[in-house]
Amino acid sequence: MSTSMVALLVAVVGVLGTLTSGLLAQRSAGKTKLLELQYAQHQSATDREEARRQARLEARRACYVLLNQAVRQHQAVLSKAIASLQRHDLHEYIEEVNSALKAQRDTYAQAQMVASDGVMEAANHALDRLNRLAALVRQYADGYRSESVHDDAQALDAEAQDAVDALLRRMRSDLGVTGSQPEGL
């Protein structure tokens, strides 16, 4: 091979190398840009999912606050009514009992849409006890008398208190307030 051929070959390889390096650089930049776009899409999807999770948690928290308030209000009204059993002046409490029951039912209906199964189980148990107690108070106000009605009412009130406390613990656990992992998050 002559020197001119070698020079020509070196020149061709140099030109091809120069052209190829530009193509390779462009291809590499395209891949980098594609990876950046994929990462941005992934990050955006992750951010949207976190926002949805946070919104569900906030909806649950707001619902649990309302449910707790309504259940505690209903329990407080029933406790006052029970205290008045011995004085036989329940009629002043019946409207308050019915109003508290309606508020409790409204918040329960809302809770059915956002609460976890565990919270709903605890709510059903607590509301069953409160509703049984309310029925006893209404029966007494309507004239039903029994020697054991006061004792029965106090026993039901104690059961209701325990059930309401269990409901609160369950709601706090579901929200992650007690350190345990909340359901469904």
Non-local CB neighbours of 22 within 8 Å, separated by 6+ positions? none
Please indicate, yes or no, if residue 51 is contained in any of the structural domains.
Answer: no
The count of other CB atoms within 10 Å of the CB of residue 25 is 10
Q: Domains in the chain: how many in total?
A: 1
Domain assignment present for residue 74? The answer is yes
Residue at 41 is within a domain: no
Query: What is the tens place of the pLDDT at every residue in 21-80?
Result: 888 888 888 899 988 988 888 898 898 999 999 999 999 999 999 999 999 999 998 888
The answer to whether residue 133 sits within a structural domain is yes
Q: Is residue 38 part of a domain?
A: no
Domain assignment present for 17: no
Give the predicted TM-score (pTM) of the model: 0.71
Domain with residue 108: its CATH number is 1.20.120.660
Helix axis angle, 117-141 to 149-175, nearest 10°: 160
Question: Does the residue 151 lie in any domain?
Answer: yes
Give domain status of residue 132, yes or no: yes
Per the structure, the complete domain to which residue 92 belongs is given by 61-175
